[in-house]
A and B are shown apart, each in its own frame.
Chain A
Amino acid sequence: MKILFRLLIILLFFQNYSLAETSQEVDKISKNLRCLICQGQSVYDSQSDFALSMKIVIQNKIDEGKNDEQIYEYLKAKYGEWIVYDPEVNKNTILLWVLPLILFVFGGILIIRKVSIK
């Protein structure tokens, strides 16, 4: 009886483990996706109908053997680029990408000037 009980515990342990394994991949992808109908939440954070369905779709795509990149591409084709938290470099987003660089260089110049004056 005791052995059976222990076996059961071990079995349950492994079952939970495998469940966690599959949803981890979904978590990872859904953290990078914007929940389009909720403001300021990722698909991972949201419990809206949209986000719940999205997680099922992601799981299905993983089961089909698609990799992360393919899943992002698939969703971008359906919902546009806005769905991913990773803006591509194009003419609308060039300022977004270049501005930190400009600020960095500008700050650097300020520091160098201040130091050399002293």
Chain B
Amino acid sequence: MSKNIKLISIVLFTLFSFFILLKGLDKSNIYSPEIKENNVNFNFKAKYLFSEEEVFINELLNNEGVSLINIWASWCLPCRDEHAYLLNLKSLNKLSIIGINYKDDEKNAKQFLSELGNPYTNIITDPKGINSIEFGAFGVPETYLIDNKSKLIIQKFIGPLDDKSFAKIINLVQ
């Protein structure tokens, strides 16, 4: 009798572990944290890409409507893919797009823009990647939709923009 109980419990435990691991396989291991603070009232200055002047992020945001902040680099391949979406958004003329040039060589960055077109209203540089940390960024490319009035991040897009996120942005802008 006790032998049976042992056997049954071993079988049950194995099955239990098996299903837990099986479920774990489907689970995506990209962790998207719950952000407590999504205000972008930053008090740091960053240099423009096209001039030597420095500016506060806040000054780049208008007082109404929404802005798009896009972290990019010339060495980042997915950024090339999403560039068409940004150009498309620019042609709508509904929101200002602020580019953050992440850990890039300024010459390469300018080359990248002259090659593919410049969708950005303003571009600031982030040579050490520390400004992007203020946004809670993981890497490039990343895009944030920001409400200009409240200075809150409405939506984060981690990774390159695609049809789905593009549609979402259009929806939120209109």
- The CA of A60 and the CA of B131, in the complex, are separated in Å by 12
A54 on interface, CB distance cutoff 8 Å = yes
Query: How far, in whole Å, are A105 and B128 apart by their CA atoms in the complex?
Result: 51
Q: Do A54 and B133 contact each other (CB < 8 Å), given the known contacts A36-B138, A37-B138, A37-B139?
A: yes
Q: Closest chain A residue to B136 by CB distance?
A: A78
A57 to B128, CA, bound (A): 9
Q: Which chain B residues border A56 with CB–CB below 8 Å? A: 128-130
Q: Which residues of A contact B33 (CB under 8 A)?
A: 79-83
In the assembled complex, B103 has its CB within 8 A of some CB on chain A: yes
What separation, in Å, do the CA atoms of A52 and B128 have in the docked complex? 8
A78 touches B139 (CB 8 A): no
Flag if B136 contacts A60 (CB, 8 Å): no
A45 CA to B139 CA in the complex, in Å? 18
Question: Whole-angstrom distance between the alpha carbons of A57 and B135 in the complex?
Answer: 13
With most chain B CB atoms within 10 A of its CB, the pick from A60, A76, A78 is A78
Q: Which residue of A lies closest to B132 (CB)?
A: A53
Which residues from A are CB-within-8-Å of B129? 49-50, 52-53, 56
Q: Which residues of the partner chain A approach B136 to less than 8 Å between Cβ atoms?
A: 78-79
* Any B CB within 8 A of the CB of A67: no
Q: Does A19 contact B (CB under 8 A)?
A: no
Do A60 and B139 touch across chains, with their CB atoms under 8 A apart? no
Residues of A that sit less than 8 Å from B by CB: 36-37, 39, 49-50, 52-54, 56-57, 60, 76-83
- B→A interface (CB under 8 Å): 29, 31, 33-37, 103, 128-130, 132-136, 138-139
A-B contact sample (10 more), CB < 8 A, given A54-B133, A77-B37: A50-B138, A53-B129, A53-B132, A56-B128, A57-B130, A76-B36, A77-B35, A78-B134, A79-B136, A81-B33
